[in-house]
Structure 1
Amino acid sequence: MVVDDAGFPIFSQIYEGNKSEPETLKDILERLNKDASLEMAGNLPMIAMDRGIATKDNLKLIKEMEFPYIVVERRAVEKEYVEEFKEAKETFEKITPGTNCVSSGTESSKESVYVKKIPIEKGSRVLCLSEGREKKEMAMDELKEQRFLDDLKRLRRSVKKGNIQLVEKVGIRVGRLKERYPSIARYYDIHLNLDEDEKR
């Protein structure tokens, strides 16, 4: 679908459901190239893509056809900008929901988005911090942590009741919990305290 600056559809195309997006990209670009002269006074539209379609070959095709584009990168690069993100709310541009304005202030907002454009070779990279996503991810992490701790408590009760006695079996259960909650377990040190018989 192609939309104008106000978000209203200009035209769209429906493709067969059994075709992957990368396979249809060339056809889409060719049609856009053709229709741009008719519908958009020769102005090529901005191509917005998710990481699933943003392969090297597809990006090469888009560049060859000289379309402007914005894409979610396939590789995680946020770790390269840890320091920038630490000061994002003070140094990035702030986009306030429900308005068309961008500011550099610190006005309060429930779910603002902070962005910073960084020039890179043959283009730019946009760093983005979303308060809404940040809150959602924090809530998900809190839920995972609570489930992790609840499972540890259940394991501890099972050991105390004697349902699990061998050290090896306890270790296996702990290992499974770490596999189930890898993003949470890494922040915890779990120690096994053995009784006199070194069974539990």
Structure 2
Amino acid sequence: QDYSLFLYDLTSTYFEGQAASNPKAKRGYPRDHRSDAKQVCLGVVVDREGFPIGMEVWRGNIKDPETLSATLKKLEERFGPPQGAEGLKRVLCLDRGMVTEEKLEELRNSGYGYVVADRRSQAHRHWEKINSSQWQVIRQSREGEPLVEVTEVGQEGPDRLVLVRSRGCQEKERAIHDRFLSRLSEGLERLAKGIAQGRIKDPSKIERRIGRLQERYPGVSRWVHIQLQQQEGGARLHWCVKASSEEEARQCEGLYLLRTNLLKAPTQEIWENYILLTRIENTFRTLKHDLNLRPIFHQKEDRVEAHLFFSFLAYALMWTLEREHRARGGQLSGRRLLEVLHEIKLGTIGMTPSQGQPLTLERISTPSREQAEILATLHIALPRPYTRLEPVSLTRA
């Protein structure tokens, strides 16, 4: 097993019920969009292949950076110092929001190599590099169009900064911006119409309505210039999209900034290490959707942790099944493997005659062709059913 690189991230899962006796059940940032429910946070570490290395249950209102120190300590206790005998550093990949400057300094002092995504706003500082001719294409379509490009933008302290331009991220962000700008425009149009018709006259009420719209769509509200004018016939609302602000924001769509202390690693390798975080996202998706991690119906702390731990073990088994299946030519996902194998049933039949010995029979359903092929790739043989006669105790009449 390769333990030279770890991926670490947090998710949350919510409770049904009050969980009043569980000190870790708190209201916090709801990744499941259930702000009405208490939750706990789950920190997970996986290796570069996506195999689960460890997990930790945190209180539901903990901030991501607060979990890093304890995680580093546990990794060192289990796998030894992050600095190898040959000077190679163990690398930790983290997503944006996971680290602060203080935690970055802790990572440096502990000897870890790291690849971290900076917040989106940090990439905007380098938007003038967009038209640079020094972009390196590291992934392209069949037609030769660049899908992912990277470029070095210098150093900041001990860290290298790598700017990434992704076609997929660009299309996603553009769709989000278009949708939010459309909704903001519709909201302003309705508000302007209500003001013109005299249905909304109080200036303070109008300003509060404008503020709520800006708060609802913060990503695009800074593109829009809004002006409330008081005239003899009443107030009038005027607004327009600032072309310069929109142009700058549009040019930054699909851009994100990576920060690393791996000074000798190729730029492509840095991006490839970071993009492995999609595997831990797949871990969370599998735990929640396929293995029924959420919601939590247990209320006591020890039972909650047992539920999460068994879910984690189930994911480790599911991951192993999928890996073994595909290593021997299979194409199915872990979820599909469980769906197919779940149909194999074992039944026990007991018969107790009025006279004679009790009889116990085991019967196993005959595997279908697909089930037999899956069992062959996993090198699993079904147990042989047995027939057992129970001994009869002899008693004196």
| TM-score normalised by length of structure 2 | 0.39
- Residue type of the alignment partner of 2:151: K
The answer on 1:21 being equivalent to 2:57 is no
1:138-166, Cα deviation, whole Å (9 max, x unpaired)? 11111111111111221233234432234
Please say if residues 36 and 44 of structure 1, whose CA atoms lie closer than 8 Å, have aligned partners that are also in contact: yes
1:66 pairs with one of 80, 99, 111:
111
The structure with the largest helix share of the pair is 1
- Residue type of the alignment partner of 1:140: I
Q: CA deviation at 1:74?
A: 6.0
2:210 pairs with one of 156, 174, 191:
174
Q: CA deviation at 1:94?
A: 1.4
- Residue type of the alignment partner of 1:13: G
Alignment of 1:117-128 (within 5 A): 117-120=152-155, 121-128=157-164
Where structure 2 has 5 or more consecutive residues not aligned to the other structure, the ranges are 6-46, 237-397
4 and 44 in structure 1: CA distance in 2 versus 1, 3 angstrom threshold = closer
Which residue number corresponds to residue 108 of structure 1?
Answer: 145
Please say if residues 93 and 116 of structure 1, whose CA atoms lie closer than 8 Å, have aligned partners that are also in contact: yes
Q: CA deviation at 1:119?
A: 4.3
Which residue number corresponds to residue 87 of structure 1?
Answer: 131
Q: Which has the larger radius of gyration?
A: 2
Please say if residues 82 and 110 of structure 2, whose CA atoms lie closer than 8 Å, have aligned partners that are also in contact: no
45 and 152 in structure 1: CA distance in 2 versus 1, 3 angstrom threshold = same
160 and 35 in structure 1: CA distance in 2 versus 1, 3 angstrom threshold = closer
Which residue number corresponds to residue 221 of structure 2?
Answer: 185
1:106-161, Cα deviation, whole Å (9 max, x unpaired)? 9315xx12111344243411111222112111111111111111112212332344
The structure with the largest strand share of the pair is 2
Q: CA deviation at 1:9?
A: 5.2
61 and 30 in structure 1: CA distance in 2 versus 1, 3 angstrom threshold = farther
More deviation, 24-33/140-149 = 24-33
Please say if residues 82 and 89 of structure 2, whose CA atoms lie closer than 8 Å, have aligned partners that are also in contact: no
Percent identity, aligned pairs only?
Answer: 25
2 and 156 in structure 1: CA distance in 2 versus 1, 3 angstrom threshold = farther
**What is the distance in 2 between the residues matched to 1:170 and 1:56?**
40
| TM-score normalised by length of structure 1 | 0.69
Q: Tell me the C-alpha RMSD between the 2 structures.
A: 4.0
Aligned residues: 188
